[in-house]
Amino acid sequence: MTSSSHAGDARAKPTHTAVVGLQWGDEGKGKIVDLLTASHDVIVRYNGGANAGHTVVVGPQRYALHLIPSGILYPDKVCVIGNGVVVDPEKLIQEIDALRARGIEVGDNLKVSDRAHVVMPYHKEHDAALENVLASRAPGPGSKAGEQAGVDLSIGTTKRGIGPAYADKVHRSTAIRMGDLLDADLLLRKLRVICAIRSAELAALGVNAPPLDPVELTRTFAALGRRLAPRITDTTYLLHGYLAERRAILFEGANACLLDIDHGTYPYVTSSNCSTLGIPAGTGVPGSNITRVMGIMKAYTTRVGAGPCPTELVDELGDRIRQRGNEYGTTTGRPRRCGWLDLVAVRYSAMVCGATALAVMLLDVLSGFDELKLCTRYRLPDGSLSDRFIPDAERMAKVSPVFETLPGWREELDEAADRSSLPLNAQQYLRRIEEIVGVPIEIISVGPERTQTLTSA
């Protein structure tokens, strides 16, 4: 580890930082984690799984990270996958191999919690099959031939098995954790029971496949366990050891606050606590250690999958943002829904996450618009105005956005040198964000590359 650590200096107290998305994901967390990694020693993922897609661009190289923390490009830092993450071991090994093939060192510097839950193949099948049934594209349990298609209740998940894996975590007795992969006998005992239950469930969801084979699954997953064994450890003690050594820790949020299972637009959310509130439970590190919370937000709004998005633009303006911002999912390639910046939502997320600073990303995408709109309040069905976000999809679907209109700018921003050299209308746009959210902007991003970053602290 480098001099950003404070080992040996009894007085220096490192800053432990959280990086968290304040919208519906894909805000540019990967880019900021990569940037801030330089001043931290340990980078920790605390939630989610391979549903995340974090992009880091370094010169001509573009890396899409799904399970491995975005700090991995620095060989002298430690990356940790905490207990709150659900790990697909096959995907993790693929990601390690792909990075190594590109010359990135993934050795002793990547650790995985023995208590992180395992995403099994049947979780992914269940995820896809349930989505299919909920979208009424397939016959559901108890449906009759020729029955009329019902309402679409699908979430638009990434089909990475996230929901079913977290459901097993809560079920307890049908769950498998990374540590279990190291004990083939235990794994087989568990899988004999689990496979019988899951095979029946998958059949009920309309999956036409042979019953799951516990022996085969044990063979495969014990082998994956052997491969990952040197990395699997008690990461809670590991992290507390780093805290005691005064190493600086960076907590990398996946997904985002409005997708948080408790605080997002339920049920159109993911299955973990992706706000900063998930950090203590997902790592074993008390939240009181974290003094800096960098809230990451796009200069506009995007969302992938179903669920309310009051400021969505389903017109040419939305298409323009999608094209300029290249708004296609890092994990699934789906086009992202685009809209004006919803500051009711961002202010809410900043409150829930305790944001101490903001990073405003993709500001360059907004060049060339005559005017820009900021949503500052919602109009409720009874006609009244509210400045409160509603973390409930049914009720959120009934609000309409109330906008403040600001003048746009024509200049491209991708080569801007600092905040004060931005066009005046861009500066005004940023000031309004700070005023309405009530949190200072520390980072402004004007392009995907490390160098296309303005700091205004």
Site string for ligand IMO, 16-35 (x = CB under 6 A): -----x--xxx---------
86 binds ligand GDP (CB under 6 A): no
Give the CA count within 13 Å in the CB-facing half-sphere of 83. 18
DSSP 231-257: GEE-HHHHHHHHHHTT--EEEE--S-G
Residue 329 is encoded by which pair of tokens?
A: 């999912």
Q: How far apart are CA 281 and CA 261, in angstroms?
A: 14
Total interface residues for ligand IMO by CB under 6 A: 24
Closest CA to 297 of 167, 113, 452, 445: 445
Q: Which of 16, 26, 40, 114 is catalytic?
A: 26
**Binding stretches for Mg ion (CB under 5 A):** 26, 53, 330
160 binds ligand IMO (CB under 6 A): yes
Closest CA to 41 of 83, 80, 87, 85: 80
* Shorter beta-carbon distance to Mg ion: residue 26 or 260: 26
Q: How far apart are CA 352 and CA 346, in angstroms?
A: 10
Site for ligand IMO in 250-289 (CB under 6 A): 254-256, 259, 270-271
Instruction: Find the shortest distance in angstroms from Cβ 31 to ligand GDP.
Output: 5
* Strand, coil or helix: 288: helix
The verdict on whether 54 is a catalytic residue reads yes
Closest CA to 299 of 27, 55, 35, 56: 27
* Shorter beta-carbon distance to ligand IMO: residue 28 or 179: 28
Q: Which of 113, 199, 218, 445 binds ligand GDP (CB under 6 A)?
A: 445
180 binds ligand IMO (CB under 6 A): no
Looking at this protein, which amino acid is placed at residue 387? D
391 binds ligand IMO (CB under 6 A): no
Instruction: Find the shortest distance in angstroms from Cβ 454 to Mg ion.
Output: 22
Instruction: Find the shortest distance in angstroms from Cβ 406 to ligand IMO.
Output: 27
Site for ligand IMO in 330-389 (CB under 6 A): 330
Instruction: Find the shortest distance in angstroms from Cβ 33 to ligand GDP.
Output: 8
Site for ligand GDP in 355-414 (CB under 6 A): 361-362, 364-365
Is the distance from CB of 106 to CB of 68 less than 8 angstroms? yes
Work out the number of other CB atoms within 10 angstroms of the CB of residue 172: 7
Q: How far apart are CA 294 and CA 21, in angstroms?
A: 9
The verdict on whether 26 is a catalytic residue reads yes
Active site residues: 26, 54
Site of interaction with ligand GDP (CB under 6 A): 21, 25-31, 53-55, 57, 325, 330, 361-362, 364-365, 445-448
